[in-house]
A and B are shown apart, each in its own frame.
Chain A
């Protein structure tokens, strides 16, 4: 029961946020929409017993990544509103057509009886919670290679960003 209510609430929130992202004129509004989606999803993670993930989502995604986004928005100074008219020919029409097809497909699949909606098991005791210990156990035994590789990836990304920044600065200084 709880899960049902939570699901509908959070779904609504996520959808609202998503639609804000794509329809807002002001980029700051779009960023706020994304925040909303992220928080709704974090709650859903908790409901699915992915506690660590929910926390990480809020701290890293909503906390760091979105903050970075906001910084860049303000840095670039694109807090002015964007013109929503379409410059490219056929683009709008094509997109609307594609949207209709996808929604039709999805709806047909979901409500057309082709999918099996097996219920989930009760969320107590029969499968592990997503606690720090449990995740760590999985992470450092089965997935340790991926872990190391992503650590390398982060390092490279950081280095790349610094390189881009330096490049810029040198140009400006000339």
Chain B
């Protein structure tokens, strides 16, 4: 079965090619079903191939597809180990559900088949990224998902804001990629190859702590760009301009988790660089809190979820930064489920409200959209860390590791708990504003439940949000940890080990934080509008700061973009135009003036030309005479 693992990448690629050339002819909705079948096929193949790992007796498989550049160790090779298997299953599983959902959501769009072309291309890219067996293929997938993100964010490119958002995403990603590429270069110069098998087993021998720290920090720069951590997160809120399935797939469940995956994959290197690991954890914790505060004051249904994603990604970074790789990846998995569900449900709401995204214009929708309300409620509970839903187990494991690590990590633990409370608060705020209370929408809006093709994926994801957490609980034998252990053989895995009393204590603190947030939000917002508006104003300047996302975009614009533009203008008009153009024009001018100077020789008078003849003749004569006749 391992030998056929390349099918996982081949199915979506075939889907892309087919839909690219024949998509318009195939048309709606068959194009959507073809794309869904492609990625569904990937899921099935991956599941079958993952069975040995689930049984516990699987060995890491290497499949070399094509040895492209042996000198660099860059080739198309697949490394199939538990970590890759888990990521593949998550990507293809959630991806299939989102593909199916999109058949309903994108109904009526004139570029329907093009959407699925891009979605399948994205699936291919992301699967390339997680299945890669060397850094070069990883980077290829990395860049490709960035490209697909750009294509899909600016899918409705006739809207200027969408086009600008796509550019912003790509450019900010690029900044991260800069660090990533330098890290790859360092890896190559140290190890002489880019292949995982040549790097990770020799990391302990060849890397000094300084070099490992440098590589780790540079990888963090790249991961921060892709996974929207501070300070490179600014593209993610704008990316909400894309269709909601895109936000669900790329900016919640899969692409943004690539950064976490990379840190987990390179655990062997981070093992040697505690400083880099701690930096990762710190960045994660700070991002989590920062984004959570911003999410409190957002009024657009998708923006809340965008900042929520940034915040939860912070949790994942906190986990992998404290070398609790399993905990981080666990949260990645559960987050994929409930965040995708949240986004898809939000999309259902938007669909039902005929495009309205402002939560202030919603309210009381649970009567009109019961399935959506129920599933979104389940997801809200999950993300708030309420047991026994999935989010509780994964988030709590990370916080437990932080607490037990002691020292500096306790600060991070505290930030995590605070963020958990804020998360619960703003998610409940969103739920109450959208689904409860009195209706605040305008005339002419008829909210309705979405068609089954959209609600069935919601229900599937809701089930996963409820049950997926149990795979790594102490009661069930820490199944996920045993599953993933082989992938981290070169690193020391941190996991909570304090025993049951400690477990209950920490869990209790997290639950109190989560439930407390829920209760506060419910009480604050399940009231007449004036009352909660006053509540919001009660925070004064802080609320405006959160609503405006601390004006980070303005800051970047003034500090980075402004000077950049000024430099470009100076280069264009002060350097290029006068100097370079001037040089070229100057040469032309010199040629012209030399020409007009020399043309005076042509007087037109035959006798002048005769004189020239005679001068030449005399010169020849002199030469002959002098040379010796």
Question: Is chain B in direct contact with chain A in the complex (CB below 8 A)?
Answer: yes
Chain A residues packing against B (C-beta within 8 Å): 88, 91, 94-95, 98, 101-102, 105, 108-109, 114
> Which among B605, B615, B621, B625 is the interface contact of A88 at CB below 8 angstroms?
B605
Number of A-B contacts (CB under 8 A): 27
In the assembled complex, the CB of A21 is this many whole angstroms from the nearest CB of chain B, namely 16
- The closest CB in chain A to the CB of B618 belongs to A101
Chain A hits for B607, CB < 8 A: 88, 91
Q: Does B614 make an interface contact (CB < 8 A)?
A: yes
Taking A88-B605, A98-B615, A105-B625 as known contacts, 17 extra A-B pairs with beta carbons closer than 8 A to each other, sorted by chain A number, are A88-B603, A88-B607, A88-B608, A91-B607, A91-B611, A94-B611, A94-B615, A95-B611, A98-B611, A98-B614, A101-B618, A102-B621, A105-B621, A105-B622, A108-B625, A109-B625, A114-B625
Chain B, 607-629, contact with A by CB distance < 8 Å: what is the 0/1 string? 11001001100100110010001
CA distance A94 to B629 in the complex (A): 27
Chain B hits for A105, CB < 8 A: 618, 621-622, 625
Chain A hits for B625, CB < 8 A: 105, 108-109, 114
Give 27 A-B contacts (CB < 8 Å), ordered by A residue. A88-B603, A88-B605, A88-B607, A88-B608, A91-B607, A91-B608, A91-B611, A94-B611, A94-B615, A95-B611, A98-B611, A98-B614, A98-B615, A98-B618, A101-B618, A101-B622, A102-B618, A102-B621, A105-B618, A105-B621, A105-B622, A105-B625, A108-B625, A109-B625, A109-B629, A114-B625, A114-B629
CA distance A91 to B610 in the complex (A): 10
Chain A hits for B622, CB < 8 A: 101, 105
Chain A hits for B629, CB < 8 A: 109, 114
In the assembled complex, the CB of A108 is this many whole angstroms from the nearest CB of chain B, namely 8
Chain B hits for A91, CB < 8 A: 607-608, 611
In the assembled complex, the CB of A140 is this many whole angstroms from the nearest CB of chain B, namely 36
Chain B hits for A94, CB < 8 A: 611, 615
In the assembled complex, the CB of B613 is this many whole angstroms from the nearest CB of chain A, namely 10
In the assembled complex, the CB of A26 is this many whole angstroms from the nearest CB of chain B, namely 20
Instruction: Report the interface size for chain B: residues with CB under 8 A from the other chain.
Output: 12
Chain A hits for B608, CB < 8 A: 88, 91
CA distance A101 to B622 in the complex (A): 9
Within residues 166 to 200 of chain B, which ones have a CB less than 8 A from any CB in chain A?
none
Chain A hits for B614, CB < 8 A: 98
Chain B hits for A102, CB < 8 A: 618, 621
The 9 A-B residue pairs with the shortest CB-CB distance in the complex, in nearest-first order: A94-B611, A98-B614, A101-B618, A88-B605, A105-B621, A114-B629, A98-B618, A91-B607, A105-B625
In the assembled complex, the CB of A103 is this many whole angstroms from the nearest CB of chain B, namely 11
Chain B hits for A88, CB < 8 A: 603, 605, 607-608
In the assembled complex, the CB of A115 is this many whole angstroms from the nearest CB of chain B, namely 8
In the assembled complex, the CB of A25 is this many whole angstroms from the nearest CB of chain B, namely 17
In the assembled complex, the CB of B28 is this many whole angstroms from the nearest CB of chain A, namely 82
In the assembled complex, the CB of A22 is this many whole angstroms from the nearest CB of chain B, namely 13
In the assembled complex, the CB of A89 is this many whole angstroms from the nearest CB of chain B, namely 9
- The closest CB in chain B to the CB of A95 belongs to B611
CA distance A17 to B622 in the complex (A): 28
Chain B hits for A114, CB < 8 A: 625, 629
Chain B hits for A109, CB < 8 A: 625, 629
Q: Which of A101, A109, A114 is the most central at the interface, judged by chain B CB atoms within 10 Å of its CB?
A: A101
Chain B, 590-611, contact with A by CB distance < 8 Å: what is the 0/1 string? 0000000000000101011001
CA distance A88 to B607 in the complex (A): 9
- The closest CB in chain A to the CB of B622 belongs to A105
CA distance A138 to B430 in the complex (A): 124
In the assembled complex, the CB of B617 is this many whole angstroms from the nearest CB of chain A, namely 9
Within residues 568 to 608 of chain B, which ones have a CB less than 8 A from any CB in chain A?
603, 605, 607-608
CA distance A138 to B621 in the complex (A): 33
Chain B hits for A98, CB < 8 A: 611, 614-615, 618
- The closest CB in chain A to the CB of B605 belongs to A88
Chain B, 294-322, contact with A by CB distance < 8 Å: what is the 0/1 string? 00000000000000000000000000000
In the assembled complex, the CB of A35 is this many whole angstroms from the nearest CB of chain B, namely 25
In the assembled complex, the CB of B616 is this many whole angstroms from the nearest CB of chain A, namely 11
CA distance A19 to B197 in the complex (A): 104
In the assembled complex, the CB of A93 is this many whole angstroms from the nearest CB of chain B, namely 10
Chain B hits for A101, CB < 8 A: 618, 622
CA distance A91 to B605 in the complex (A): 11
CA distance A159 to B1 in the complex (A): 99
Chain B hits for A108, CB < 8 A: 625
CA distance A94 to B605 in the complex (A): 15
CA distance A80 to B603 in the complex (A): 27
CA distance A108 to B629 in the complex (A): 12
CA distance A160 to B615 in the complex (A): 33
- The closest CB in chain B to the CB of A99 belongs to B614
CA distance A95 to B629 in the complex (A): 26
Within residues 342 to 363 of chain B, which ones have a CB less than 8 A from any CB in chain A?
none
